[in-house]
Amino acid sequence: MHGHFLVSLQSIIKFVGSSRDTTDAVDLFYWKIMMKPFHLLLCSLLAGASLTGFPAVAQTSIAEQQDARVIESLQRNGADLTKTHDIDFFLVFGQESDAVAAADNLRARGYEIASIGKVPKRTLWEVHAKRKMAPEIGAMQAITRDLSALAASHHGYYDGWGTVGIK
């Protein structure tokens, strides 16, 4: 997810530059970069559990907790959550055809597709979608559930969202 890494790193740099406390930026960097292998393992385990009849409730719960942490971090650093933000969403797929089909579904739901591309040095495909909206917790958690289901329906996974806080 090299492209995802660059976007996240650019967001972190902007975030650190506007932040009084860089701890939140470091936490975000740690989650997106250092915890990625754990996240992928968890997604694999949950996908396997769902194939055997166990619901994938834990994945949504963890993702929703992360939504809350990001929003709390934005608030602590002075972002006005009532203002419209440019929010980036990332979905990952094993096949280009699945990525394209998911992107078509995202467009139909009002998302702008920023890119569909192969992850460098990997066999995965990433969809980077955008939407302008206020990052309100209920709305973001609903989107997380919706995009997780959309990605799963195309044999992929939802990799999260990010934004630069607007003051």
22-72 pLDDT tens trace: 444 444 444 444 444 444 434 433 343 333 344 444 455 788 899 999 999
Instruction: Establish if 6 belongs to a structural domain.
Output: yes
- Residue ranges making up the domain that contains 108: 2-162
Is residue 131 within 8 Å of residue 137, measured between CB atoms? no
Identity at 65, one-letter amino acid code? Q
Instruction: Establish if 167 belongs to a structural domain.
Output: no
In the chain, the number of structural domains is 1
The CATH number of the domain holding residue 131 is 3.30.70.970
Q: What is the pLDDT of residue 31?
A: 41
Is residue 129 within 8 Å of residue 106, measured between CB atoms? yes
